[in-house]
Amino acid sequence: MSRIGKLPITLPDNVDVNYNESEVTVKGKFGTLQTKIPDIIAITEDDKRLQVSLKSDSRSNRSLHGLYRTLINNMVIGVSEQFQLTLVLKGVGYRAAVQGKEIVLNLGYSHPVKIEIPKEISVEVAQNTTINLKSCDKELLGLFAANIRAWRRPEPYKGKGILYQGEQIIRKAGKSAK
């Protein structure tokens, strides 16, 4: 049995969970999330706690146990609190701005980079170099942040690029250090 999978999921007061054999729907004050679950996963609810268990025990089934418990827990946290990521632009002339339904990045290219913002994500730009992303869907939030970051990955010599807040870049010595 999975160590993570056997942990119960505590439900806050403002969260409703509906489930059947193939689908879980979680509703809260920040939105509604839905995911499909395999037939081998069983969900039981008692006293504002969800318990995720397996119907049959085999090696491949045990590997899915912890995964689906974590996915459901992330859905519950997302609709009740929301997830937040902060990106920091480091570099001379690097700037960001939100224009309508897209984010415009000036990253040292000859043209501004325009990225469409998904409707489930709210984007706020502070001080031209800090991008705050919020969403109830953790997977979509991480994917969108990775797409923004892919335009300028942090480089190890000067430390320039798009970084997650609090990320440490391991710096390399240049040619003169040899």
What tokens were used for 30? 């920040």
Which pLDDT value is given to residue 113? 95
- Residue spans in the chain of domains classed CATH 3.90.930.12: 9-80, 83-166
Fold classification of 83-166 is Outer Surface Protein A; domain 3 (3.90.930)
Which pLDDT value is given to residue 35? 94
Among candidate residues 45, 40, 117, the one with its CA nearest the CA of residue 76:
45
CATH of 9-80, one of 1.10.3860.10, 3.40.50.20, 3.40.80.10, 3.90.930.12: 3.90.930.12
DSSP-derived 3-state class of residue 1: coil
Q: How confident is the model at residue 1 (pLDDT cuts 50, 70, 90)?
A: low
Which pLDDT value is given to residue 83? 96
- Provide mean pLDDT across the span 113-128: 94
Cα of 142 vs its chain's centroid, Å: 4
Give the amino acid at 149. R
**Mean residue pLDDT across the chain:** 91
What tokens were used for 8? 């119960």
Kindly report, residue by residue over 24-55, the tens digit of the pLDDT: 999 999 999 999 999 888 899 888 899 888 88
pLDDT of 60 > 90? The answer is no
Kindly report, residue by residue over 146-161, the tens digit of the pLDDT: 999 999 999 999 989 9
pLDDT of 178 > 90? The answer is no
What tokens were used for 27? 């509703």
CA 102, 104, 111, 107 torsion-angle sign: negative
Which pLDDT value is given to residue 177? 58
Which pLDDT value is given to residue 3? 83
**Which positions ≥6 away from 144 have C-beta within 8 Å?**
117, 118, 121, 133, 135
H-type alpha helices, the chain: 59-80, 138-149
pLDDT of 2 > 60? The answer is yes
pLDDT of 18 > 80? The answer is yes
Helices 59-80 and 138-149, axial angle in degrees (round to 10): 90
